[in-house]
Amino acid sequence: MKVFIDPPNSLVLFDLVERFGHEPLSTMAAIQERVDNLEVDMPPMNVTLDDVVKGLKYAGVEVPSGVRGRLALWGPMIESADAAIVMDDCPYSFGCVGCERSNLMVKYLIKRRGIPVLYVTYPEDEDQATNFVAQTKEFLEGLK
């Protein structure tokens, strides 16, 4: 099953989803598509006109262009996801920093899809990490 991860560039979440037998949907795959197939100078800093139009589906025209650009990458992935894992209470510099509004919008889009979602908290110590891994494992093994 396709599992969307939030933060979408997280190594830990990507690894755990793969480890427990599912396909993670991440920013890296979306950017790789643009690196390989499009002649864009430096994705995701530069986007195509199509990306801007795609972003309009998820955020209005009055929303800052950065939010639309991010959602042009993440929006289609959320639409194709069968489940999602969201990590809450991350430190400031963990995940896609720079636009909290985009992150909130992603959480809203996931909720609106109505797919199974696991909300986990950022582990601060070993016991919390054990709980985090066990909880993720149970959730991913339950997705059949």
Residues of this chain that interact with other proteins (CB under 8 A) are 9-12, 14-15, 18-19, 23, 26-36, 42-43, 91, 93-95, 97, 122-123, 125-126, 128-135, 137-138
Q: Please state, in angstroms and as integers, the Cα–Cα distance from residue 36 to each residue in 26, 116, 122, following that order.
A: 16, 32, 33
Nearer to other proteins among residue 12 and residue 115 (C-beta): 12
Nearest distance, CB of residue 60 and other proteins, angstroms: 28
Residue type (1 letter), 108? Y
Nearest distance, CB of residue 102 and other proteins, angstroms: 15
Residue 72's H or E segment, with its range, is: helix 65-80
Nearer to other proteins among residue 65 and residue 131 (C-beta): 131
The answer to whether the Cα torsion of 72, 112, 86, 21 is positive or negative is negative
Nearest distance, CB of residue 50 and other proteins, angstroms: 18
Whole-number Å distance between alpha carbons of 113 and 18: 22
